[in-house]
Amino acid sequence: MFRRCWRSGRIGVGVGCAGVAMGPAEHRDALAEQVRPDFPILSRRVHGRPLVYLDSAATSQKPRAVIEALVRFYEESNANVHRSPHRLAEEATAAYEEARDKVAGFINAPQREGVIFTSGTTQSINLVASAWGQAYLKPGDEIVVTEMEHHSNLVPWQLVTEAMGARLRFLRVGENGTLSLDELERLLNERTRLVAFTAVSNVLGTVNPTREIVERAHAVGALTLVDGALSLPHMPTDVQRLGCDFLAFSGHKMLGPNGIGVLYGKPEILETMPPYVTGGGMIGKVTRERSTWAGLPYKFEAGTPSVANAVALGAAIDYLRALGMERVWAHTRALTAYAVERLREIAGVTVYGDAGERGVVVSFNVDGAQPHDLATHLDQRGIAIRAGHHCAQPLMQRLGVAGAARASVYVYNTRGEVDALAEAVAEARAFFRRSGGMAR
């Protein structure tokens, strides 16, 4: 369990407040058993059953340290930032900028000016599509995306390429759920301006070779945008090692609050981009005729920012860093592999994707059951999963299905919960066979 240092609010492990990760797990559920007491919602019962929360790819649960950070800000330091000289405003500004520094450290950004707070991954990608795309795309230019993208990393590029007379090209998903670097090589050319792709598929769990894709894009002079919505919460991430030009991610998938996210961009690129949203806080000087813009990162943070959520995101980063991201990734990757193994043992269950490097999510279907019916059936047993197209309709078309059920794990999940999922799916399979596929 984690304890808080009284004065600083820092998160430490065990009995100390040094923030040093514990040693290797003694058994497979050691990490989950360590952290579960920190998550109040996990003590809930749903329909009379203990909650088994397997929907963290949609949104993660929040540890008490993050909830307390949010409450403490509103109770003690709530004020607008960068505005007033009074004590509360100074405290709020300091806490907000400290959160930016924590993000920069978490992703090893070389300059804090490249860290822009947004509402989440979706807004981060839209910012680049609008500010960069409308400024730099020309007729005949090309943007490359993949067939496995979330709609948030597809629809913005559809709109901007149509508006600018550019072309959208697709890197296909192979039969095993992976991307082919050889095919990428054939797609890239002198007209390619940007390659936008997910680090981890939110349907297949495929971990893409991010660094290699970035290097190949840069070889033809193209920029890169990485959707890190499902990689940042689970895997160590170093933007300098990856070399990406833009990285987008959300706080709510990494133990933080809703409504806060980050766009990282190389400052030398961000400097050349026009503002995305205008108003207070992002200006240099305003006259009746024209305006100039504030420096980075404030040029892209118009209006009152989500200060409390940024502070709470900083608390989530403290929590994850105390755990150690290598340890987090080892846990979620192993648990995902175990879930794949257990589900594939059940007759009539199809699990999608077979990548060698896989983590976070398992998407599957049960013969004779609609995904939403299956999810409703599991909910009656206290098991929370997602069902539908997962905002990835082109990938669903590639898989030949309208939708799928999806289970996703995080630091607080156990093998016992995966066993409970497998047993409930097997029972649901028998139920739907008896009832002819109709839910009650």
Kindly give, in sequence order, each residue whose CB lies less than 8 Å from that of residue 27, ignoring residues fewer than 6 positions away.
none
d(CA 122, CA 80): 24
Residue written as token pair 């901007």: 160
Kindly give, in sequence order, each residue whose CB lies less than 8 Å from that of residue 423, ignoring residues fewer than 6 positions away.
none
Tell me how far apart the terminal alpha carbons of the chain are, to the nearest angstrom. 41
Q: Long-range contacts for 46-50 (Cβ within 8 Å, ≥24 apart)?
A: 46/379, 46/382, 46/384, 47/379, 47/380, 47/381, 47/382, 48/382, 49/381, 49/382, 49/383, 50/382
Identify the DSSP state of 346.
Answer: S
- Residue 56, classed as helix, strand or coil, is coil
* Residue 303 CB neighbours (<10 A): 11
Catalytic residue at 5?
no
Preceding amide of 233 cis, omega within 30: no
**Chain centroid offset of residue 57 CA:** 7
The catalytically annotated residue of 5, 17, 244, 391 is 391
Say if strands 142-146 and 167-171 run parallel, antiparallel, or are unpaired. parallel
Kindly give, in sequence order, each residue whose CB lies less than 8 Å from that of residue 421, ignoring residues fewer than 6 positions away.
52, 54, 339, 342, 343, 378, 383, 385, 407
Query: Which residues are catalytic, by number?
Result: 391
